[in-house]
């Protein structure tokens, strides 16, 4: 485990006992694809019991890097060799995905249930490799590494967590890669066909195009947006690193069953934005 940056995930709840109802699953950012953040089935939290006497920190977990992703939650996951657990899933900028027990951080039936490393050592991207136009913002916001930034999404029926990790490979040159992973929520193992390299192209004559085609450039695109699962498609969206040129907005769809790129579900926001029309920051 890397010690460059240690963060804590804090679990907060009312003082209910562990054998009471486990609660509703949180499978995506802000609870649903409308991103309302609402749990309309909530019955336990009230103005009477959310107070300093019965509402507060239950435990905390140590992670190896900054956490920009929203933690997700699935009750009643059957962990091999350990039985049923209510699980909190957390992803860090060090390309680590954690499965923590939601009810106890100690003992044989609690704590860290599994950890999956999606990029180690030299493959981890450091924050100083990004920025330019607003370089200081990147240095301040994402320290000291850039790995998993967008909140994953979980398909509870399939038992799969989808997440995008940024890596690099250094040989005679430095090359950047973004991979979409499908992880088994019970073990952290890659599902069949996982991972796949994120790649896409779109017709256009704008900045960074070639032969009337704009090609996805992993080095320039920040996977900050939460992943979305809808209609059997995993949508992965991209923006920039502190508006550093050249970049485009992308939305890319993958088949949730096998992670195959769906070429009819690729959208680019600025394929024809040229400097001649939009100025020096057209990208």
Burial of residue 235 (CB within 10 Å: 0-12, 13-18, 19+) is: buried
State the pairing for strand pair 261-268/250-255.
Answer: antiparallel
**Average pLDDT score, the chain:** 86
> Where is pLDDT greater, at 95 or 274?
95
Give the mean pLDDT of 159-188. Answer: 93
Domain ranges of the chain: 7-278
Look at residue 40 in the predicted model and tell me its pLDDT. Answer: 85
Give the mean pLDDT of 145-164. Answer: 95
pLDDT in tens, 102-136: 999 987 778 999 999 997 655 667 666 665 555 55
**3-state class of 121 per DSSP?**
helix
Percent of the chain clearing pLDDT 90 (strictly above):
59
Give the mean pLDDT of 60-73. Answer: 93
pLDDT-based confidence at residue 4 (cuts at 50, 70, 90)? very low
pLDDT in tens, 198-234: 999 999 999 989 999 999 999 889 999 999 999 999 9
Look at residue 273 in the predicted model and tell me its pLDDT. Answer: 87
Give the mean pLDDT of 73-98. Answer: 95
> How many residues belong to the chain?
283
Look at residue 7 in the predicted model and tell me its pLDDT. Answer: 56
Does residue 171 register a pLDDT over 90?
no
Lowest-confidence region among 28-32, 137-141, 194-198: 137-141
pTM of the complete model: 0.90
Look at residue 33 in the predicted model and tell me its pLDDT. Answer: 96
Look at residue 8 in the predicted model and tell me its pLDDT. Answer: 64
Element (H, E) at 139: helix 135-141
> Where is pLDDT greater, at 16 or 167?
167
Look at residue 3 in the predicted model and tell me its pLDDT. Answer: 37
Q: Give the distance, in angstroms, between the CA of residue 150 and the centroid of all CA atoms in the same chain.
A: 4
Q: What is the CATH number of domain 7-278?
A: 2.40.128.630
Give the mean pLDDT of 78-91. Answer: 96
Look at residue 109 in the predicted model and tell me its pLDDT. Answer: 74
pLDDT-based confidence at residue 140 (cuts at 50, 70, 90)? low
Residues 6+ apart with CB under 8 A from 100: 9, 11, 61, 87, 88, 89, 90, 111, 112, 113
- Could you tell me the CA-to-CA distances from 255 to 102, 184, 264 in Å, in that order? 30, 16, 11
> Hey, what are 62's tokens?
């140590």
pLDDT in tens, 251-269: 999 999 999 999 999 999 9
Look at residue 146 in the predicted model and tell me its pLDDT. Answer: 85
């Amino acid at each position: 485990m890397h010690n460059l940056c240690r963060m804590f995930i804090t679990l907060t709840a009312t003082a209910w006992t562990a054998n009471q109802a486990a609660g509703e699953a949180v499978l995506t950012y802000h609870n649903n694809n409308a991103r309302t953040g609402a749990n309309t089935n909530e019955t336990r939290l009230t103005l009477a019991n959310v107070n300093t006497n019965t509402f507060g920190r239950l435990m905390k977990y140590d992670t190896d890097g900054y956490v920009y992703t929203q933690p997700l939650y699935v009750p009643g996951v059957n962990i091999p060799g350990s039985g049923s657990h209510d699980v909190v899933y957390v992803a860090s900028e060090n390309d680590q995905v954690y499965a923590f027990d939601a009810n106890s951080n100690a003992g044989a039936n609690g704590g860290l249930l599994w950890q999956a490393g999606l990029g180690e050592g030299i493959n981890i991207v450091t924050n100083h490799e990004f920025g330019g136009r607003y370089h200081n913002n990147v240095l301040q916001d994402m320290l000291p590494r850039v790995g998993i930034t967008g909140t994953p999404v979980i398909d509870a029926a399939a038992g799969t967590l989808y997440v995008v990790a940024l890596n690099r490979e250094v040989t005679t040159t430095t090359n950047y890669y973004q991979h979409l992973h499908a992880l088994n929520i019970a073990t952290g193992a890659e599902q069949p066909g996982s991972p796949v390299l994120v790649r896409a192209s779109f017709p256009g004559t704008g900045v960074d195009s070639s032969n009337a085609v704009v090609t996805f450039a992993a080095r320039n695109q920040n996977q900050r947006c939460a992943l979305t699962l809808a209609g059997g498609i995993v949508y992965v969206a991209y923006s920039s690193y502190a508006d550093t040129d050249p970049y485009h907005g992308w939305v890319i769809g993958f088949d949730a069953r096998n992670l195959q790129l769906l070429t009819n579900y690729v959208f680019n926001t600025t394929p024809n934005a040229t400097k001649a029309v939009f100025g020096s920051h057209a990208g």
